[in-house]
Amino acid sequence: MAKAKSILKVVLPLLLGVGLVWYSLSKISIPTLVQYFKDADYTWIVLGVCLGVLSHMSRAYRWLFMVEPLGFKPKFGNSLMAVYSAYLINFTIPRAGEVARATILKNYEEIPFDKGFGTIVAERIADTIMLLSIIAVAFFLEFEFIFKFFEERFNSTSLLFGGSLLLLGALVLFLFIKKGKSKFALKVKAFIVGLLEGALSIFKMKKKWAFIGHTLFIWVMYVLMFYVTTFALPELENITLAAILIGFILSSFSIAATNGGIGSFPEAVVIAFSLFGMAEDPSRAFGWIVWSTQTLVIIVIGGLSLLYLPIYNRKKTRL
């Protein structure tokens, strides 16, 4: 049973990704998509790629602050190559990258697996908080648009009823988690407790402000990477900040849905941009351009990292 469950965790995201690739390419002809790639302004695409690389470099450097209190001083090169290797491995088996990253650091930096993996999980907590913050900012900045969006589709009575139902559901869920003893309730409770403990532990770090600064920088680079790439397609020149934020949020969630966002990333962009009246073809093409260029960089640098790690560390040992 456990083996079947593990297989499903690997196979289902892959099948979903393949299905979404087929769906996406059924909605836009390959010649049309290729033409968008040919006509795109690659100055902005390259700039977006550079911003993505900067975010990954910052992520690798930020991790050094987390292991320093544990008594380790790993090399930045190993941390950076471990990050890119992890991203590459996530394209094959979802969430296996974090395990691989901790294993790489154990092999080349002699950091115990449990401690290395623990710091990587803590990193994810910080990133989750940042994503939730971006969602909150988007909601605050575009509250009027979101309200009008629902108001146009539902009458005030439906909205009031839906809002009341949502609040009641949230209250029931809160009480269920707080009082519940089921496996699901305990898992959710453990996740929330872990999230809070992880957030609070950041402020106990010796270099907490450097860590927070890098965390902000990483996510600003992510958003800017997404934003500047829109300039590559003239059809998206009038895109709004709301569309950018919603598109970024949905595409971020899409990466967890399939292996590295394959198939799901472009469709998440289409869903977001269509809310703001953007045409489907350029939206879908933009999603494919962002996903494919960022993925290409991960494949190249991640592959080179896996090959160069033993060479890099052999040279360091000889010195």
pLDDT tens digits, 169-189 = 666 666 666 666 667 667 666
The per-residue pLDDT for range 20-77, each reduced to its tens digit, is: 889 998 999 899 999 999 999 999 999 999 999 999 999 999 988 888 877 888 899 9
In a domain? residue 11: no
In a domain? residue 255: yes
Contact 230, 244 (CB under 8 A): yes
Alpha helices in the chain (DSSP H): 2-27, 30-39, 42-67, 76-90, 96-109, 113-141, 143-153, 156-179, 183-202, 208-229, 241-257, 264-274, 280-318
In a domain? residue 170: no
How many domains are contained in the chain?
A: 1
In a domain? residue 5: no
In a domain? residue 130: yes
The per-residue pLDDT for range 190-204, each reduced to its tens digit, is: 666 655 665 565 666
Tokens of 103: 């294993």
Q: Has residue 319 got a pLDDT over 50?
A: no
Q: Has residue 159 got a pLDDT over 70?
A: no
In a domain? residue 66: yes
In a domain? residue 186: no
For 76-113, the three-class secondary structure string (H helix, E strand, C coil) is HHHHHHHHHHHHHHHCCCCCHHHHHHHHHHHHHHCCCH
pTM above 0.85, yes or no: no
Measured in Å, how far apart are the chain's first and last C-alpha atoms?
A: 50
Range of 229's domain?
40-155+207-318
The span from the CA of 88 to the CA of 301, in Å, is 9
The per-residue pLDDT for range 304-315, each reduced to its tens digit, is: 999 999 998 886
In a domain? residue 195: no
